[in-house]
Amino acid sequence: MNIVILTGAGISAESGIKTFRDANGLWENHAVEDVASPEGFSRDPQLVYRFYNARRAQLQEVADNPAHRSIAKLINYCKNSTKHHAQLITQNVDDLHERGGLKDQDVWHMHGELKKMRCQKSAQVFTSPLHLDEKTLCPCCHQAGNLRPHIVWFGEIPFYLEEAFSLLNKCDLFLSVGTSGFVYPAAQFVSMTPETCRRVEINLNDTQISPVFDQHLTGKAGDILPDYVDELMEGLS
Ligand code: OAD
């Protein structure tokens, strides 16, 4: 069986990381275009560095939850199987899937990673210091001012798209966990699966892409996923 799991901010909500779309449309009290767009970064780089430094610092205060651990259990089980394959694609920039039990290379961070930075000249990616700013020296060009957070901003192309499209084509089970279906292309993934694919959405609420799914499990990912994964794994063995 080919399984694709797409996760969004909802899976980390129970760990204490706020989701993106709160009641007034702000991300941690900032307009998304100010802190998550190339234009915002050129307008006010210091604000953007500060914003992601605060998000990075917050990672030290939170921990993975049962939903992250269940996904890791399923993926690690499939890695040891010759019959099944499971791939995680996450829109989250936190590292809670890794802390929940996955190896770095098993997590496709399509929107980038808070713990990484990128040189804008060479496109090389490095581990970010906790505090990144315009004075941080780049490990490759040894200059300051070239580094940016390794985050995909609005208007930029997400990572792992080609790999995702080819897996979605042959997917038998598509699991969407804690994502609002607002942001493309991730919101389109479910529609790219074949007709034979079972599509399951786990969310606190219905989303705008709910009608495309075969099954909705309504509630917290951390409550639903442990039992769901155990049952699924019984069927796989
Ligand atoms: P959103 O904040 O848009 O949506 C979070 C979803 O999680 C909502 O549908 C909630 O109902 C649901 N949710 C909240 N708590 C939950 C829980 N405990 N269990 C299950 N579901 C829960 O976040 P995303 O869909 O991830 O992009 O947002 C997608 C992208 O938009 C983000 O990656 C980010 C943002 O702008 C970039 O930064 C490029």
pLDDT in tens, 81-140: 999 999 999 999 999 999 999 999 999 999 999 999 999 999 999 999 999 999 999 999
For the chain, the domain total comes to: 2
Question: Could you identify the atom of ligand 1 that is nearest to the CA of residue 205?
Answer: 11
Looking at the structure, do residues 162 and 213 belong to the same domain, yes or no?
yes
Cα–Cα dist 37/41, whole Å: 6
pTM of the predicted model as reported, rounded to 2 decimal places:
0.96
Yes or no: say if 173 and 198 are a contact pair by the CB < 8 Å rule.
Answer: yes
> How many whole angstroms from 227 Cα to the centroid of ligand 1?
22
**Residue 181 domain boundaries:** 1-17+64-111+158-237
Ligand 1 and 224: CB distance under 6 A: no
Ligand 1 and 84: CB distance under 6 A: no
Looking at the structure, do residues 205 and 178 belong to the same domain, yes or no?
yes
Owner of token pair 């389109």: 188
Q: Return the active site residues.
A: 111
What is the CATH classification number for the domain harbouring 55? Answer: 3.30.1600.10
Which helix (H) or strand (E) covers residue 149, if one does? Answer: strand 147-151
> How many whole angstroms from 214 Cα to the centroid of ligand 1?
20
Q: Whose CA is nearest to atom 30 of ligand 1?
A: 183
Q: What is the pLDDT of residues 35-90, one digit of tens each?
A: 999 999 999 999 999 999 999 999 999 999 999 999 999 999 999 999 999 999 99
Q: Where are the beta strands (DSSP E) in 20-178?
A: 85-90, 107-109, 112-119, 125-127, 147-151, 173-177
